[in-house]
Amino acid sequence: MADLIIQGGKPLQGTITPSGYKNSIVALIPATLFTDAPVTFTNVPDITDVRNMLRFLKSIGSKITWQRAENTLQIDNSHLHASPNMDKYPTNMGSAKLLIPGLLHRYKTVRIPNKLKGCTLGVRDSEVDYEFWKKMGVKVRGVNGSREFSILDKFRACEHWADYQGVTSTENFILSAIMANGHSILLNSASEPQVQDLSQFLMKLGAQIEGAGSNKLSIEGVRELSNTPVNHRVTDDYYEVATFLALGAMTGGKVTVNMPDQQYMGLIYKTFDNLGVHLDIGSDTVTVLPDSTFQLKPTEQKNMLRKVEAAPWPYFPADLMPPFMALATRVDGTLLFWNKIYEGAMHWITELMKFGAHVHMSDPHRVIVFGGKRLNPAVVDAPYIIRVAVALFMVSASIPGRSVVKSADTIKRAHPHFVQNLHKLGADVEWAE
């Protein structure tokens, strides 16, 4: 595991171009298994999750051409092996489940390990996937510590009302339905940007999908997808945009982020404003200004705390709770953070408290941050949660002196060239392997 060594207290200055969105590309790569056409992705982040997925695809016969310097990736699945070698199946990432529909489409039977390792946010419920897969003709059975998935020929169309708006399960439903026999409907579907990105890509290939971005998906299965080469640009990582803006604010600097497509940023901008952070929002850039007051905007009802509530899209994104909790330590006021999705995502606050932050956990879903307190350098341990490692770095960077964030390399799963980008902004930070 790698640690981050930080000499904090330096205002960050400069311009950053965000990378492609991790949560989009890890769904787009599995989607290529449904076509023999060469697919070219641009704005592809050079992150460990992408490398792990591509390593597996190469092992089953995919032709991969990845020009990392140009952020361009080409995948050609026209000559896959007759049977898959599952030795390189990426068990260290929860999104590996998204490979299952494409593998079933190709091979009809696939066996994967029972446990996939994602961020330690809480229990991940697979039941919702198994419910609609059973309706679609998928048989699932346990075999020697693994699960075997099989279909007779094709997925069957179905109508399903999900218990909750799960992003990965919605993406798996889409992938399973695009070439199913008949018309499929998913009610209470997730509508996050990565679901929209996946749907737009598949529609370029000829999939018939209606309702992407809403909570009802309607999909007409097609006999085959296009064999014409397709190009698709991965959407920008709006988590990374928000992170660099928050970093600029916390360090008293001026950071500009290039972002021509800001359609997903509205509530994030509003939350910055509520926390007294001043942004200059242009048509293709956004800049955090060094004159932020960090004065918490009061609520209309004077006896209520200002809240940041995370729930399924279009609510505030749960993945951005840790960076904004870090930002809240600088705010003159008290905020309630309410994560309505994950029950295990808040326990890292004990590490935040090592800096001297005043934080109270009300229950596994709610944390109160009493901002504006004096903070001191510290040595902290990052859990296996990408944005928490980022948040602990953010606090370290805002405090004069030497801090260490131990086991921080989970950051590499989502943010390519993280330290290099920080160097461009003048941060004093290094990896210690």
Is residue 337 pLDDT above 70, yes or no?
Answer: yes
Question: What is the three-state SS of 83-99?
Answer: CCCHHHCCCCCHHHHHH
CA 405, CA 390: separation in Å to the nearest integer? 9
Tokens linked to 189: 């579907």
Task: Tell me what the mean pLDDT of segment 282-286 comes to.
Answer: 96
Half-sphere exposure of 365 (CA within 13 A, CB side): 10
CA 145, CA 160: separation in Å to the nearest integer? 29
Identify the CATH homologous superfamily for domain 22-233. Enolpyruvate transferase domain (3.65.10.10)
pLDDT score, position 116: 61
Q: Which residue has the higher pLDDT, 360 or 417?
A: 360
Residues 87-137 pLDDT 10s: 899 988 889 999 999 999 999 999 987 766 554 544 445 556 789 999 999
CA 343, CA 337: separation in Å to the nearest integer? 13
In the chain, where the domains are located:
3-18+237-432, 22-233
Q: What is the DSSP track for 190-203?
A: ---HHHHHHHHHHH
Q: Strand pairing of 285-288 and 63-67?
A: unpaired
Is residue 363 pLDDT above 70, yes or no?
Answer: yes
The reply to whether 3-18+237-432 and 22-233 are identical in fold is yes
DSSP, collapsed to helix, strand or coil, labels residue 224 as coil
pLDDT score, position 127: 59
Give the total residue count for the chain: 433
CA 315, CA 67: separation in Å to the nearest integer? 35
Nearest residue to 427 (alpha-carbon basis) of 394, 381, 404: 394
- In single-letter form, the type of residue at position 403 comes to S
CA 44, CA 22: separation in Å to the nearest integer? 8
Say which CATH architecture domain 3-18+237-432 belongs to. Answer: Alpha-beta prism (3.65)
pTM: 0.92
